[in-house]
Structure 1
């Protein structure tokens, strides 16, 4: 370990993950910055099925690993003065929890937080923003197959004595988690636009709209130097020139088209439910039992971590806010995928739904310029997703903290959740090189 490096960068893997999943990010970081500039810690205590144990438990483990490494470095004569934290998938949520714990213990008074970045992290949870029967079935089944972590990500948990989901508390303005996150000089996120079957764009991008849902109908705009992968966050898409549709497509009604789009989902439930559910639930039951056993050891301190040191007050003013609001039974009834007429007031006020065709208004980064342009330029407007009230509040609070949000348009592979960090060293994930290059070009040492 080099004596001059005073910056520790922590990498946190995702659900079912292991440290090897972050090999590409680690080597890319090391290639960009030598050991004379930065130390790298890839956390390992949440590997495999240990990620079932909950975001809070995982966060305590990561906080403990960081403190251990800082102690090791100090004993070796390496004074760490700066810290960066990078989270992939569920690891981004675990990292946010750990950051709150470290902040509450006073670490950031002596160590300066510099970069916080997430890749394909479900900041708003993984509950699908749909109201139909099949979406409800997915939410019910998914929340019960991942033990504690599943309930937290599907927003059906009640975190300790708050009476609210953990993710809601994690984004509370008055919580240690938001206060700790706000200490970082740079905050950024990368969200897949398409083909991420694990984490949808809206939750990874902290967005109440999805400009990429009907991507074939639009032209995607990219950042200069990162073409065909990193999308321009200020001006993500443009309208395409209208095309003459074949006669048979012109005759299809909107309802008929919607039915055909649902065929793959219907087929999935017809085929998967009778065959795969038994195996899935059996494995989930086994993992839930094992997870409960690990949690008992964790709570009693027999897992090697003194959890009492992390169980500080959460410092939220609205600790017992209501959970039985209008979205309580949203997924139990048929409906549309977006907010209906008269519901727009529920949406977050921090985000706009329309994008001007003109780049000039966006590059000016001024509300006055945008307003002036809106009068003369056509607009692309996207409907607001039917999120829960908790999710809309999360968007508002996280937007107020501030993130640089980068949509990632990976097209050459159908498994973009793995490709965004090049989880495996295979040619089909090569677009991940451009993502890493953009991340490191904006990484402050």
Structure 2
């Protein structure tokens, strides 16, 4: 017969077993990384154009992000302040369900694919192993940032955050305001061809889509309204950070990446703007985070314009050499620029049917345009089939598309934004609690004619989106000043350090992102 002592001993053993079982259950903080706009054409022009193909991306481009944050948080107890409490492990998912030309299918359909990958694949796999996802964070690069904002809207609509705590939301070089229009011929051409060649995604970039019906509003408009599910979901995250390039981003310029209505860096080469690098609490420059800047200021008196170089002089030719982009494989003369990668490029571009002489851009360009047209047509056919699918009611775009509050920019909004349409340039800026702000707004300088001539013209809708997003109190902005490069869009995430030495310039940004991550 069992005695009371035996029962107490048995209970102690059971309690110990329960504790042991609980200790074997991992508590997971899931981090999702989302890449930017991809294209099957990138696989064909990789060797020739990759160092300038800022919009073309794959999962491999996030390798530096994934490796760095895994390294930084591989032993979280050793990093004070990097976690909310002990016993939480980081699990990194680089989303792969939206690669290649599928990114042409729109922010919404791309996000739906990523949600399926997160819920039906990764989280179910974690739960089936007896572990639990208790926290969720997401980081999106370029287009991936917009996809991330839609993803959290879908998750919030499904009550995902009732059981899982949202923690970090980060975007890097993301066009939050869409693509701004500049008073240039190139910008006008992009605005016409982009929505055609990039299918639904292009229409959403330039706010030409009607997401919630034939007479509806653009998706970016809906996502940035304070009463939308997307805006509410974004506001749930206690740590919201956006990284933006100050200069040299020819894909996602400063205004839209930093959610600003004026650009003090637009004429950085002539306006005398001064920048300071990231600073630690000790007020010493922290080279680890270079090229992130702590502050910037414009001089009280603009510097004199640089002397004009004489036409065809050595200085003139040197300035052209710095401005004109030359693909890496064309920097040697014919025929020494032939190698295995360029031959593979020729074969892949035309599927082996038409040989292309390396370096003949006049031949390549029409083929690229033709390929983009075919990819866009294929995307529109995929979208048609998706929208015709009887199970489409499961998607957020169907359940919310006509439920969101209707209406465009009101007269009151227009009156409020009227004074922002031609804002004075920033004077002095500092990185405060929410990012960069004016130290002395009353001292803003007059814009000279040359700068005014190239300044973008933000629409009332873009001004409204900027105002709404900047109203989020926990939103912080970090700026990267990457000079000496043709296009900083790829450099900011160190997209391909194996092939391009210059991409290492962005490692300070990646390091800052990883070490600022709250586990």
- TM-score band by shorter chain is 0.7 to 0.9
- Matched with 1:18 is 58
2:274 is the counterpart of 1:219: yes
Deviates more, 1:136-145 or 1:208-217: 136-145
Which residue of 2 is the match for residue 65 of structure 1?
117
Q: Residues 155, 380 of structure 1: CA spacing in aligned structure 2 closer, same or farther, 3 A cutoff?
A: same
Q: In the alignment, is the contact (CA less than 8 A) between 2:243 and 2:478 conserved in 1?
A: yes
The range that moved more, 50-59 or 378-387, is 378-387
1:284 maps to 2:372: yes
Query: Deviations along 1:209-242, whole A, 9 cap, x unmatched?
Result: 111111122111222114651122xx32332876
What does the per-residue CA deviation read over 1:135-174, in whole Å, with 9 as the maximum and x for residues that have no partner?
3233112221101101110111111326211111111111
8 Å Cα contact 1:299/1:307 also seen in 2: no
Distance of 1:393 and 1:436 partners within structure 2: 30
CA distance in 1, matches of 2:444, 2:304: 22
Whole-angstrom distance in 1 between the partners of 2:106 and 2:226: 22
Q: Deviations over 1:305-352 (max 9, x none)?
A: 86624332258764232699x99xxxxxxxxxxxxxx99725289x99
Other-structure match for 2:73: 33
Candidates 396, 410, 425, aligned match of 2:467? 396
State the 1:428 CA deviation: 1.3
Q: Answer yes or no: is 1:231 the counterpart of 2:231.
A: no
Q: 1:81 to 1:301 in 2, by over 3 A?
A: farther
Measured after TM superposition, the shift of residue 244 of structure 1 is 5.5
How far did 1:193 drift? Answer: 1.4
User: What do you get for the CA RMSD once the two structures are aligned?
Assistant: 3.7
Deviations 1:373-417 (A, max 9, x none): 678xx5557778420111011101111124211111112432311
When structure 1 is superposed on structure 2, of 213-222 and 240-249 the one drifting more is 240-249
Partner of 2:229: 176
The structure-2 alpha-carbon separation of the partners of 1:228 and 1:294, relative to structure 1 and needing over 3 Å to count, comes to same
1:319 to 390, 397, 406: 406
Matched, 1:158 2:210: yes
Give the 3 Å change call, closer, same or farther, for CA 352–41 of structure 1 in structure 2. Answer: farther
Q: Contact (CA 8 Å) 2:179, 2:252: kept in 1 or not?
A: yes
Matches within 5 A, 1:41-120: 41-68=93-120, 69-120=122-173
Q: Deviations over 1:70-112 (max 9, x none)?
A: 1221111111110000000001001111110110110011111
Asked which structure has the greater CA Rg, the reply is 2
Alignment of 1:331-346 (within 5 A): 345-346=418-419
Alpha carbons 2:33, 2:62 under 8 Å: kept: yes
Query: Residue 421 and residue 247 in structure 1: after superposition, are their counterparts in 2 closer, same or farther (change >3 A)?
Result: closer
Q: Deviations over 1:258-299 (max 9, x none)?
A: xx99xx99xxxxxx9987764344223211221123224433
Residue in structure 2 matched with residue 138 of structure 1 by the alignment:
190
How far, CA to CA, are the matches of 2:366 and 2:381 in structure 1? 23
For structure 2, the 5+ residue unaligned runs are 1-23, 39-56, 76-87, 280-285, 310-318, 325-359
Name which of structure 1's ranges 278-287 and 144-153 shifts more when overlaid on structure 2: 278-287
Are the counterparts in 2 of residues 175 and 314 from structure 1 also a CA contact under 8 Å? no
Displacement, 1:61?
Answer: 0.8
1:186 to 239, 242, 246: 239
Corresponding residue for 1:308? 394
Matches of 1:273 and 1:425, distance apart in 2: 26
Indicate conservation of the 8 Å contact 1:120/1:190, yes or no.
yes
**Structure 1 residues 356 and 320, CA gap change in structure 2 (3 angstroms):** closer
2:479 corresponds to which residue? 407
**Pair 1:63–1:343, CA change in 2 (3 A):** closer
Please state how far the C-alpha of 1:10 moved relative to its aligned partner: 0.3
Is the 2:69–2:515 contact (alpha carbons within 8 Å) kept by the matching residues of 1?
no
Task: Give ranges in structure 1 of 5+ residues lacking alignment.
Answer: 250-259, 266-271, 328-341
Does the CA-based 8 Å contact 1:147-1:288 persist in structure 2?
Answer: yes
TM-score after normalising by structure 2: 0.68
Cα deviation per residue 1:14-60 (whole Å; 9 max; x = unaligned)?
A: 00122111111000110011286201111111101110011110011
Q: Using a 3 Å threshold, how does the CA distance of structure 1 residues 160 and 243 change in structure 2: closer, same or farther?
A: closer
Whether the aligned pair in 1 keeps the contact of 2:107 and 2:146 (CA below 8 Å) is yes
Structure 1 residue 126, shift from structure 2 partner: 1.4
